[in-house]
Amino acid sequence: MTERRAIVTGAGGFIGHHLVRRLKADGFWVRGVDLKYPEFEASAADEFFLLDLRRSAQCAEALARIGEADIAVYHLAANTGGIAFIERHKALITHDNVLIDTHLLEAARKAGVARFLFASSACVYPAYLQQDANVAPLREGDAYPADPEDGYGWEKLFAERECRHYWEDYGLETRVARFHNVYGPLGAYAGGREKSPAAMCRKVAQAADGGEVEIWGDGAQTRSYCYVDDCVEGIRRLMDSEHRTPLNIGQERLVSIDELVDIVAHVAGKRVVKRHIPGALGVRGRTSDNSRLRAVLGWEPLTPLEEGLRHTYRWVADRIATGSRDAAGISGGHRDQPLAVTR
């Protein structure tokens, strides 16, 4: 049998690192590509290329010398972070990600890649559908008429279109996964790139029993959260499917940020006092409609939020308790590197 081979861009980042581990467990030979190695443990990849995918020549290098096997490219590399980061760095994000996505798609076409999965985001959905905390679940077709998250969301939506056109014009088998708030261990939990579950785990871990936890806004804003193992399972199923249009990968359970803090505090065995302060908020509410996901893949993410947060909290709390170097607030790359171009 021909050896199954895969390339994972963003393999030094959170989801990419978990995906590499899963692909290795599934019997793949894997090349990881990123600006940096994984932050918290060694990569399981068979080889790891340190490359800057904003440069077309380095995208070509990422896909070079891979052998005669059919190659699957899992493209997770992006300049991204939590809501405060993506609101403050729109020019940087759009500049970097347009270059990364465009150059890598073209390199994949030239290399004759068999399949190409693009990691998109629920940030492509229109703001006008997300103005209420009791938001209606977002269906894939709701992305148009377009009004995505400014900067990051617009770039993701444009890249989705690029994937479609590369299929239509060149026959490149593209898949598009729209991630909804993925969380879990081995991800950024401090420094500005962390998402709300990791941030709340850090804040609760650092708080004394009965202490204060700061929450941006009134705490009534809502989200749904997808555990990273479920996200990786969805990626693998989507890549192996014949479904070419964007597909949500997320949970349908909607919780407020206040409720998220309550769950983390319960996992930690602490009482906390919530203190609401001004901060970046994003949309008022967002959750996934998984109707198409169930129909296409016969599956949906099922890890309960309490279980996923238990794993995440224990990992974050252990990092803080052992005085890990990033516990003070820096996470996501080596100090002498530029802002990491990883998912």
pLDDT in tens, 163-209: 999 999 999 999 999 999 999 999 999 988 899 999 999 999 999 99
Number of H helices, E strands in the chain: 10, 14
Sign for the pseudo-dihedral over CA of 302, 305, 310, 314:
positive
Separation of alpha carbons 82 and 280, rounded Å: 9
Secondary structure element (H or E) that encloses residue 72, with its range: strand 71-75
Is there a domain that residue 314 lies in?
no
Whole-number pLDDT of residue 2: 63
Is there a domain that residue 246 lies in?
yes
- Active-site amino acid positions: 152
Give CA angle at 43 (101, 301), nearest 5°.
Answer: 70
Task: Summarize pLDDT for 288-319 with one digit per residue, the tens.
Answer: 999 999 999 999 999 999 999 999 999 999 99
pLDDT exceeds cutoff 90 at 326:
no
- Looking up tokens 């919780």 gives 255
* Prior bond of 145 cis (ω within 30°): yes
CATH code for position 13: 3.40.50.720
Mean pLDDT within 235-247: 98
Residue 162: domain span: 5-182+226-252+285-303
- How far from 258 is each of 16, 56, 84, 196, CA to CA, in Å? 29, 44, 18, 11
Secondary structure element (H or E) that encloses residue 133, with its range: none
Average pLDDT over the chain reads 92
Is there a domain that residue 339 lies in?
no
Task: Summarize pLDDT for 125-161 with one digit per residue, the tens.
Answer: 999 999 999 999 999 999 999 999 999 999 999 999 9
* Interacting residues of 50 by C-beta distance below 8 A, sequence separation 6+: 34, 35, 36, 37
Mean pLDDT within 89-115: 97
Is there a domain that residue 262 lies in?
no
Q: How many domains does the chain have?
A: 1
Is there a domain that residue 265 lies in?
no
Is there a domain that residue 310 lies in?
no
Q: Are 167 and 244 in contact (CB under 8 A)?
A: yes
